[in-house]
A and B are shown apart, each in its own frame.
Chain A
Amino acid sequence: AQSVTQLGSHVSVSEGALVLLRCNYSSSVPPYLFWYVQYPNQGLQLLLKYTSAATLVKGINGFEAEFKKSETSFHLTKPSAHMSDAAEYFCAVSDPWRDDKIIFGKGTRLHILP
């Protein structure tokens, strides 16, 4: 079975500092991987996705993630945090050869300190 583990349910960074949200996956086949963002009382918005092409994936709002097979990781980064980045971030995995279900991690709440 596939799963993702997000390290840290809460992460705080100062405005302008590097954002690093960690995600490790478990999958017996090459997975598709996603990062979603959820603002308070809103639905989820896709930030970026990895679908077996380039290992460095660029998304919206200046975020990017790198697929590292050797580390089974797909960490999300942004060079400089902005106050508007404060939200919940979900890493997710899917097996494109099996079904179309997306399995979400438990989420990491990102706090931006002024």
Chain B
Amino acid sequence: DAMVIQNPRYQVTQFGKPVTLSCSQTLNHNVMYWYQQKSSQAPKLLFHYYDKDFNNEADTPDNFQSRRPNTSFCFLDIRSPGLGDAAMYLCATSSLGDRLEQFFGPGTRLTVL
């Protein structure tokens, strides 16, 4: 089945220790998104890619970076995680023909100790 895969599902890191979250997709979608979802809150868009064209949200902290080496993969790098970065991180994809229908992965829950 075509899908969006996120690894790992659960990630524990230490305060200030860099961490990378991974997303891959078999849908061959051009657009990929990263959202941050804190407990009992709505998902908040961090950034997205149209193919290799990176689009950062104005209020996304510099601590968050992303890489998209090819169509299938996208990475979220948190350079120096703080306690406030503990959250669920959701990856989503959409096609250029229907960018408003987003397909979500299961998420990675990040814990910062």
Residue numbers of A with Cβ under 8 A of B are 9, 32, 34, 41-46, 49, 51, 90, 94, 96, 100-102, 104-107
Contact = CB atoms under 8 A, between A and B. Distances in A.
Interface residues of B, number: 23
A41 B37 CA distance: 11
B107 A42 contact: yes
B100 A102 contact: yes
Contact of A43 (B31, B41, B104): B104
Contacts of B92: 43-44
Interface string B41-79: 111010000000000000000000000000000000000
Given A45-B104, A107-B41, A107-B42, 6 more contacts: A32-B100, A43-B4, A43-B6, A43-B107, A44-B90, A44-B92
